[in-house]
Amino acid sequence: MSHDGPTTDAASVRAKNTDPRPPAIAFVTTEHFTLQGARSSTIAESTGRASMFLAAVSGGLVALGLVAGASSVGTAFYAFGLALLPTLAFVGLVTFERVLQSGLEDLGYARRIALLRGYYFDNAPELAPYLLSVPSSDRLRVQGLPNEHWQGLRTVAGMIAVITAVLTGSTASLVAIVASEHSPAATLGAGTVVALAALVALTRYQHAAWKLAADTPLIAAEVDSDPEPAARALRAVSTEAASDADGRPS
* Range among 34-48, 67-81, 193-207, 208-222 rated most confident: 193-207
Q: What percent of the chain has pLDDT over 90?
A: 35
Q: What is the pLDDT of residue 71?
A: 85
* Range among 115-119, 131-135, 225-229 rated most confident: 115-119
Q: What is the pLDDT of residue 240?
A: 46
SS3 annotation, 124-188: CHHHCCCCCCCCHHHCCHHHCCCCCCCHHHHCHHHHHHHHHHHHHHHHHHHHHHHHHCCCHHHHH
Region at 144 (left for phi over 0; alpha for psi -120 to 50; beta for the rest): left
pLDDT by residue (tens digit) across 135-174? 555 556 666 565 666 677 778 999 999 999 999 999 999 9
Q: What percent of the chain has pLDDT over 70?
A: 70
- The DSSP line for 193-211 is HHHHHHHHHHHHHHHHHHH
More confident residue, 2 or 90: 90
- Mean per-residue pLDDT for 187-199? 93
Q: What is the pLDDT of residue 36?
A: 83
Give pTM, 2 decimals.
0.70
Q: What is the pLDDT of residue 229?
A: 46
Q: What is the pLDDT of residue 88?
A: 96
**Is residue 152 a contact partner of residue 158, using CB atoms and an 8 Å limit?**
yes
**What mean pLDDT, rounded, does the chain reach?**
78
Q: What is the pLDDT of residue 221?
A: 46
**Is residue 99 a contact partner of residue 157, using CB atoms and an 8 Å limit?**
yes
* Neighbour count for residue 189 (Cβ, 10 Å): 15
What is residue 3's DSSP assignment?
Answer: -
How would residue 15 be classed by pLDDT, with cut points 50, 70 and 90? very low
Range of weakest confidence among 138-142, 162-166, 175-179, 220-224: 220-224
pLDDT exceeds cutoff 90 at 134: no
User: Quick one: how far is CA 89 from the chain centroid?
Assistant: 23
- Mean per-residue pLDDT for 14-26? 65
